[in-house]
Amino acid sequence: MLSKSVVFLTCFLIANGAMGQTGQLEINAPWARATPNQAQSGAAYLTIVSPTADRLTGVSSPIAKKVELHTMSMAGGVMRMRPLTALDIPAGHDVTLGPGGAHIMLLGLTQPLREGQSFPLTLSFEHAGPRQVTVVIEKAGAMGPGGQATGSPPMHMHH
């Protein structure tokens, strides 16, 4: 009797895992840079992959008084940052929020972001609903998850 239950549970988990690979929005490699002790703001980065079109409409975290989507651009040697009300997620395309582009601003930090620690972040999508992820804090000068120090984009595999 026990072996049938184990076989059923194993099949159920395998089927669920396979279903989770297709048809669902995924949030990959969430990370942030460590901040100095007195810093009032920080930034978080991640990649969103969705098989269907969606919109990221909001972000929140208990470690910041306010969390906003921002875009960054360079014009005439001047860096400009502006808040975004939402971010379109095209079907089947990776949308990477990273240094030098769109990112998540953490305003009014309740504590410094320390390398090696993590914090929860909730992303709200128009269709997929709220999704919570754990953001890993990398060193202050990191350019990607896993402490990448180069400007190369993080690599990830498609299944």
Separation CA 46–CA 65 (nearest Å)? 20
The answer as to whether 147 is a domain residue is no
pLDDT of residue 79: 79
Burial 63-90 (b: 16+ CB within 10 A, else e): bbeebbbbebeeeeeeeeeeeeeebebe
Confidence at residue 157, expressed as pLDDT on a 0 to 100 scale: 36
Mean pLDDT across the chain, nearest whole number? Answer: 83
Question: Structural domain of residue 101, as residue ranges?
Answer: 25-138
- Is residue 158 included in any domain, yes or no? no
Give 121-156 pLDDT, tens digit per residue.
Answer: 999 999 999 999 999 999 998 999 885 554 434 333
Q: What pLDDT does 89 receive?
A: 96
Q: Is 83 within the bounds of a domain?
A: yes
- Its pTM stands at 0.76
pLDDT at 58 over 60: yes
Residue 20 predicted with pLDDT over 50: no
CATH number at residue 80: 2.60.40.1890
Does a structural domain hold residue 39? Answer: yes
Q: Is residue 1 part of a domain?
A: no
pLDDT at 100: 86
The tally of domains found in the chain comes to 1
Asked if residue 133 belongs to a domain, the reply is yes
